[in-house]
Every structure is written in C-alpha cells, then in structure tokens.
Structure 1
Amino acid sequence: MKNFNLVLGTVLIAAGLTSCKDEAKETAEHNVDHYVVFVDSVNGLDAAERAANWAAIDAEYQARVAEADAAMATLKDDEAAKKRIEESKAKYDGVKMQAENEAKAKMEAEAAAKAGNPMADKLFGPGNVVGNDMTFSWVNKDNILSVYQKFYETFDSEKDEYSRQDLDKVKAWYEALDARKNTVEKEGLSTSDNNKIAGIKLKFAPKFRWERLTAKGEENKEAKEKADK
C-alpha cells in the first residue's frame, strides 16, 4: 500500500506540473494574440485620432510588446508565434513613423500659423490665418465682401513691390479665396455682395495679369544681366 501511495503521489505531481505548463503556454499564446490584435487596431485608427492619442497608444504598446516578448520564453520553439510578433513589430514601426511625421507636420504648421505671414497678414488682416491648406474656413457670407475688398486694395497699393514669387503666392491665395466663395454662395451670400465681389474681380484680373507679365520680364532681364557678367 505504501508503494502504491508513493506511485500515486508521483503521478499526481506530474499531472500538476503538466497542467501548469499547459496554463503557462495558453497564457503566452493569449498574450501574443492580444499584442497582434492591438497593433492591428492601432493601424486601423483614423490618422487624426491616432495622432491626437499617440502618447497613450505608445504607452499601451510598450506594455503589450513586453508581454509578447516575455511570452516567447514559453513559446521559444513556436516559429509561427515568433513570426507574428516580428510582423506586428514591423507594422507598428511603420505606424509610429507615420504618427511622428504627422505630429511634426502639425507642430510646424501651428508654429508657422502662430508666427504669421507678413504678406498674408497685409492682404487678409492679422489673425486671419491662411494656413497651408488654404481652406479660408473663417470666411463666411457676412465677411467675404470685406475680405475681397481688403485683398484688392492691399494688392493695388503694393503691387509694384511684389516679386514674381510673391505674385505666385497672391495667385494661389486668390484662387483659394475664390474656391471658398463657391461654398459661401451656397450658405446664403447676398446678391448685392456677390455683385460687388464680381466688380472687384473684374478690376483685379487685368492688373494681376500685367504685374505677372512685367515681373516675368524683369526676371528675364536680371537673368540675362547675370549671364553676361
């Protein structure tokens, strides 16, 4: 009986050890799954949402990847699990680079907007941010006429000081303002204001064409003088 009990005890201990090993393996597999799913979910986020929450996302990632790396101590012979982790790490590195570039671009845009653009400030008024996207979201049916008026009056008074590069900017801003006008018209722009804007555009167009033409001539003249030296 004593020998039987000894054998039985040994069997029970072995079964317990096997159970512990199975449980550890199962936990490790779950941690790998959680890691892979987390990276996929980050990859699927909207870029703006990802950028806005990047600090929290990266903190959670560090915890998940630590669990996944620890899991490989248990799953060291599982090549499939190892491959999944490596692929997810590569995917996350790509997402991280994109998020960091987006954050950098946003910071640079905000810094540029804060610093202002002297030329744009004159044409549109200080504080009326043009921005790199040139959406003119601050322009509405109530102020668009005054925006056109200030733009034209400033251009008319300073046109002789503009370089060709300056005129390229004026052209881009003017076209973007016109694009905004198309939206504002649908939002209730009055017929009176619309007609006045049309009058401003009729005055602006020939003056701008002349300035572009003469600026190009001056540019060619300067280039020729440099070449002759």
Structure 2
Amino acid sequence: MKSIQILSGVVLIALGFTSCKDEKQEQAKKTIDSYVSYVDSVKNVAADDLKADWTAVEAEYDRRAENARMALADLKDNTAETEKINETKIKYEEFKNEMAATLSPPGSKQQLRNALFGEGKIGDDMDFIWVNAQNIHSVYQQFVHTVENNKDSYSREDWDEIKLMYEALDSRKNTVEKEGLSAEDNRKIAGLKIKFAPMYTVNRIGAKSEENKEAKK
C-alpha cells in the first residue's frame, strides 16, 4: 500500500512537470504571436499618424522582439517559430525603411544609410562594429532588398554612396568570417552579393545617362 502511494506521488509530480512545461511552451508561442501581431498592427496605421509616436513604436517593437527571441528557448522544436520571427523582422525593417522617407529630409545621405542599415546604425564614423557573425546575413539581406526596392529612384550620387557602404560592409565581412560566420550564412550572403552586383552596374549607368540627358536639356 505504501509503495502504491509513493508511486502515485511520483506520477503526480511528473504530471506537474509536464503541465508546467506545456504551459511554458504555450506562453512562449503566445509571446511570439504577440510580436507578429504588433508588427502587423503597426503596418496598418497611417504613416502620418505614426510620426509623432515613432520613438515609442520602435521602443515597443524592440521590447517585443527581445521577448520573442527569448521565448524560443522555451520551445522544444522552435524551427517554425524561428522562421516566423525572421519573416516578421524583415517585414518590420522594410516598413521602417518606408517610414524613413517620412521621418527624414528627402535626399539626405543619412536617410539613405538609415534605409540601408537601420535608423542611426551608420553615421559619419562609418563604424560597422555592431555587425557580427550572428546578424551579418540579415544586414546584407536588408541592404540588398532595400536597394532592389528603390533602384529606380536613386541618383548617381546615391549609387556612389551605396557602393561606398557596400564595400565597407564587405570589409567588415572579412573580419566576421574569422569570428564564427556559419557556412550556411556565408552561402546566403554570396547569393545576395551575386544579386547586387549586376543590379548596381546596370542602374548606376542608367542613373548617369538620365542625368546627362537632363544636363543637355
């Protein structure tokens, strides 16, 4: 009888652990879903309405993004949730780039840098120390996708600045490769570089031709 009571106690404890574990995983999924929902809701607000509160929007985004990242550790299999977080991050960065046109003076060099790398990430010091083995793929991804989305609106001077930034990022990659850059990320970055090179060459020439036509007028 005593043995049965002990066994029952062990079973109850095990069930309690399982229940706690399940609750933790459910809470982790809710935290990640909250992060995704926040970005979707922000994207549905008119840009003019966001301007006054943009600092608060970014602070709240950073908080939810960090909570979502930490929640991954509570999931036994977090492959799907990791993909969801990555897709949401790209979606937010693209939206933030669109907002940059509203928040910054048009045509400024700093606006271009903000769009390519994120608000205030690159200043006059051209410091890329914040780029590391863990985030360099997403940095390249944002850079190339931003250029692709805006290639028809860049001037020749913009393309010269883009090339300068691209070469500086490449220089940082040479350092990061020695600091644990994964083979998979390296392969993905190589694909982005292949995509960027002809896009830069063709559109830089096109921008110069357009400027020459305008000058002749």
TM (norm. structure 1) is: 0.46
Greater Rg over alpha carbons, structure: 1
TM (norm. structure 2) is: 0.49
